[in-house]
Amino acid sequence: MMKELFPIKQVMGFVFSLVLTAVALAVYFLDMSFQLGMTILLVTAFIQAALQLVFFMHAGESNDKNAIYTNVYYAIAIALVTVFGTLLTLIWGYM
Amino acid sequence: MEFFERFAIPHPSPLIYASMVGIGLTVIAIVIGLTYFKKWGYLWREWLTTVDHKRIGLMYIISAILMLFRGGVDGIMMRLQTAVPDNTFLDAQHYNEVFTTHGIVMIIFMAMAFIIGMMNFVVPLQIGARDVAFPRLNAISFWLYFAGAMLFNISFVIGGSPDAGWTNYFPLAGTDFSQSVGVNYYMWALQISGLGTLMTGINFIVTILKMRAPGMTLMKMPMFTWSALITNVIIVFAFPVLTIALLMGTFDRQFGTHFFASTNGGMDMLWANLFWVWGHPEVYILILPAFGVYSEVIATFSSRNLYGYKSMVGSMVLISFMSFLVWVHHFFTMGHGPLVNGIFSVTTMAIAVPTGIKIFNWLLTMWKGKIRFTVPMLYSIGFIPLFTIGGVTGVMLAIASADYQYHNTMFLVAHFHNVIIPGVVFAMLAGLTYWWPKMFGFMLNERIGKWGFWFLSIGFCLAFFPMYITGLDGQARRMFTYSAETGFGPLNMVSFIGAALMAIAFILIVYNVYYSFRYAPRNVGQDPWDARSLEWATHNPVPEYNFAVTPEVNSSQAFWDSKKNNHQLFKEKRSKIHMPNNSGVPVIMAGFFFVFGFSFVFSIWIGVIIAALGIFACMAYRTFENDHGRYISLKEIEETEKKYGGAK
Ligand code: HEM
Ligand SMILES: [Cu+2]
């Protein structure tokens, strides 16, 4: 009974999201190299976004599940292609 | 007086003053006409406040045809100027303005409006729905588009037109080189109408995913609906890039940032990059609905099932993704190494493969079919060879090293007109003729329509094929004139003659509307073309509620099944129908957007603030509004159905 009422998944998600925020915040307070700091920020940011989507925006909980995830993966793929393609054309591959 | 000086045109000419007078007189005539015939109320109730997808579709299409006229006049002026060497009809500055507005008007305000209008009218009918998922949002989309279009179109009489090309490359488009407000118009007109397009994208994805008739799985959707779905997916992923690029451009021009400057840490190539990250998917946004129309038309008039439904869908899904992988082919010559050019050369050639697959699908659909050469079918058949030429020259352009020769010449101009005119314009004319009875309950005259087709096709070939040759000979694009020694003269004259034939075609097409309106018989019945898909299962013209009873479907050509295979479309009993209410908020809100954009163009901040408040007020109103729609009673439905002849 208690188990059904208590949103254990959401609470865990909430705690985890706080942890991620704390880690990201640590980048500001601790002394570390720029590269390391950016890496930590990027990684925590993406995990954070995924977490929000799944736990708090209920991405997987309706029968639109497939449409929603297809859309998300598609968006990620296009974003990656655009960002890395742009870096390639304007910086790495520029003569 | 000082305040008004900013509205003066920086580079006037008698033509522009004449247009000013013309515009003024037209507006006065419209106002007087509406007042005299007491049509204001009708206009407001039936059109300005409508949320009906069919009427919104028609308003898009009417606007698109107006914009086709405007862009067409620009086109004719350019061909007239270049018809003979050293011509002085337009000077360099005017020529710049004319080719810039021609490009934007044709792509954003003509082609986009035409395809969105067609989707609006047809998609809900094809999937057996009563409207789109968010009818109110749909009205906002249209009115934002309309506000953007009007904003863009007044530029040449108030403050000056943009003149940096439809691609608007920085630093040319920056304040150093484009001092007039022209490029501000570009930024805001595209921004406002782009927002509308983005909303359309979301609206149609939801509509198609959620509102299909019972039994219509994804793989049983008619092909036009499939093409609309894919198109809107591309819209949703491509348009945000444009939104942001325009915003950054606005900041550069009006608030002194340096995103696209060549100094102070800016990067001028970034604009070109972002523009084409949006721009290449945009050309597929234009062409896919056209492919959808051709699929419907060719299947109907070959009296055959569309060949290779699955490969058609598959190739479109593939295109939707691949269209995001090729954008760099638009600036091969701007300084990347061979690695970058190599990669994008290959992706570009690869995308020609799924495009080519479709050509075979259509050919095989016609193979052994009983072909009827109606006007829509003529356009479709004309499209196949012409578009193939455009595709082949596209692949030529995709060869990066060769592109150093072709780039920025008339060869490129010939390529993209060769894909866009037989692709998009032919398709929209085919679709318009095909669905005309659905829209108005009578047919367009076939004889005049065929004359129109031949004038347009022959005109097109004469106008654009010579450009391949002069382009290879080195005639650069966007040059306002050339000397006689270049030898470009005769072919450019041919090109002008072609353009004139196309103008005649336009007149014929418009005349056909008038002629058919007066003389065509009205009782064409429900299925004048012997068609196959669901939209033909309701009356012509379509009643407000589309289908008296929601149809049930078990294939991609449900209507054909109901005619030939005893499929029963309508099983339920009639009952009252829930419909959305009309609303004046969308058009009012778009009015505020217009004022917002206009004030922003001229940096009149007080106007910007007031208009922004107005926009937020409209949103707030909507938030607190209590609107549950209304019901059409059973009695009303019975009466309407009886009027149509009562079948079913
Ligand atoms: C077979 C498929 C296609 C290929 C391989 C292809 C390839 C290319 C390439 C490489 C360019 C750039 C050339 C240059 O700037 O030097 C180009 C330009 C262009 N293409 Fe295509 N294309 C294809 C289909 C289409 C379609 C279907 C459309 C539109 C419906 C289209 C519209 C355009 C436009 C508007 C431009 C030039 C815009 C400008 O610079 O102002 N293309 N194409
Ligand atoms: Cu492209």
Q: Is residue A62 part of a domain?
A: no
User: What pLDDT does residue B647 have?
Assistant: 47
What average pLDDT score do residues B520-528 get?
88
Question: Do the domain assignments include residue A88?
Answer: yes
pLDDT score at B1:
63
d(C-alpha B261, C-alpha B267), whole Å: 6
The secondary structure of B563-591 as a DSSP string is HHS------SPP--EEEPPP-SHHHHHHH
Residue A12 belongs to some domain of the structure: yes
- Percentage of chain B modeled with pLDDT above 90: 85
Q: How far is CA B493 from the centre of its chain?
A: 29
Residues A53 and A14 in one domain: yes
Which of the four pLDDT bands, split at 50, 70 and 90, describes residue B507?
very high
CA distance to partner chain A, nearest, from residue B339 (Å): 7
Convert the pLDDT of each residue in B469-491 to its tens digit: 999 999 999 999 999 999 999 99
Complex-level ipTM: 0.86
**Tell me: the pLDDT tens digits for B212-231?**
999 999 999 999 999 999 99
CA dist A91 and B258 (Å) reads 18
Helix axes B135-154, B182-210, angle to 10 degrees: 160
Q: A37 and A12, same structural domain?
A: yes
8 Å CB contact of A67 and B327: no
Say yes or no: A43 and A73 in one domain.
no
- Ligand 1 touching residue B167 (CB < 6 A): yes
> What's the farthest any 2 CA atoms get from each other in chain B?
77
Give mean pLDDT, residues B326-347: 93
Is residue A3 a part of any domain in this protein? no
Nearest CA in chain A to B218: A67
B-chain CB neighbours of A74 within 8 Å are: 233, 237, 321
Q: Residue A65: what pLDDT?
A: 85
Are both A40 and A21 inside the same structural domain? yes
Q: Inter-chain contact B277–A78, Cβ cutoff 8 Å?
A: no
Please state the rounded mean pLDDT for residues B314-341: 93
Is B191:B145 a contact under the CB 8 Å cutoff?
no
Q: How many CB atoms lie within 10 A of CB B185?
A: 28
pLDDT band for position B648 (cuts 50, 70, 90) = very low
**Are residue A53 and residue A12 in the same domain, yes or no?**
yes
| Full-model pTM | 0.94
Measured from the Cβ of residue B498, the count of other Cβ atoms closer than 10 Å reads 21
Asked if B192 contacts B597 with a C-beta cutoff of 8 angstroms, the reply is yes
pLDDT at residue B74 in the model: 95
Question: Would you call A50 an interface residue with chain B, using a CB distance cutoff of 8 Å?
Answer: no
Cβ B270–A90 below 8 Å, yes or no?
Answer: yes
Q: Which residues of chain A have pLDDT under 70?
A: 1-3
CB B427 within 8 A of CB B379: yes
Rounded Cα–Cα distance for residues B515 and B217 (Å): 41
d(CA A71, ligand 2 centre) in Å: 24
Q: How do residues B396-424 score in pLDDT, each as one tens digit? A: 999 999 999 999 999 999 999 999 999 99
State mean pLDDT over B459-468.
97
pLDDT of B270 over the 50 cut = yes
Q: Which residues contact B642 (CB under 8 A, 6 or more apart)?
A: none
Helix or strand or coil: residue B263?
coil
- Count structural domains, chain A: 2
Q: Does A78 touch chain B (CB under 8 A)?
A: yes
Q: Which residue has the tokens 């910086």?
A: A91
Average pLDDT over residues B295-301: 95
* Pair (A39, A80) in one structural domain: no
Kindly tell me if the per-residue pLDDT of B93 is higher than 80. Answer: yes
All residues at 6 or more sequence positions from B164 whose CB lies less than 8 Å from its CB, including other chains? B96, B100, B172, B173, B177, B178, B182, B183, B186
Query: What does the CA dihedral B353, B356, B358, B361 come to, rounded to 10 degrees?
Result: -110
**Which residue has the CA at smallest separation from atom 7 of ligand 1?**
B394
Judging contacts by C-beta atoms under 8 Å, the chain B residues touching residue A82 are 241, 277, 324
Q: How far is A73 from chain B (nearest CA, A)?
A: 12
Residue A85 in domain: yes
Residues with Cβ within 8 Å of B490's Cβ and at least 6 positions away in sequence, in order, are none
- What is the average per-residue pLDDT within B624-644? 89
> Of the given ranges (A63-67, B114-118, B135-139, B497-501), which has the lowest mean pLDDT?
A63-67
User: Under DSSP, is residue B476 helix (H, G, I), strand (E, B) or coil?
Assistant: strand
> Does residue A94 lie within any of the structural domains?
yes
Burial (CB < 10 A; 0-12, 13-18, 19+), residue B88, is: exposed
Q: A53 and A32 in one domain?
A: yes
pLDDT of residue A2: 64
A50 and A87, same domain (yes or no): no
Question: Are A53 and A72 contained in the same domain?
Answer: no
DSSP result, B72-123:
HHHHHHHHHHTSSTT--SS-HHHHHHHHHHHHHIIIIIIIHHHHHHHHHHHH
Q: What are the domain boundaries of chain B?
A: 370-529
Tens of pLDDT, residue by residue over B339-382, are 999 999 999 999 999 988 899 999 999 998 899 999 999 999 99
pLDDT, average across residues B319-331? 94
Give the model confidence (pLDDT) of B102-114 as tens digits: 999 999 999 999 9
pLDDT of residue B568: 85
Domain that holds residue A28: 8-57
What is the C-alpha separation between B249 and A44, in angstroms, rounded? 31
Is pLDDT at B306 greater than 80 in this prediction? yes
Q: CA-CA distances (angstroms) from residue B500 to B75, B98, B312, B488, B495?
A: 10, 17, 37, 19, 9
Q: In terms of domains, do A21 and A47 share one?
A: yes
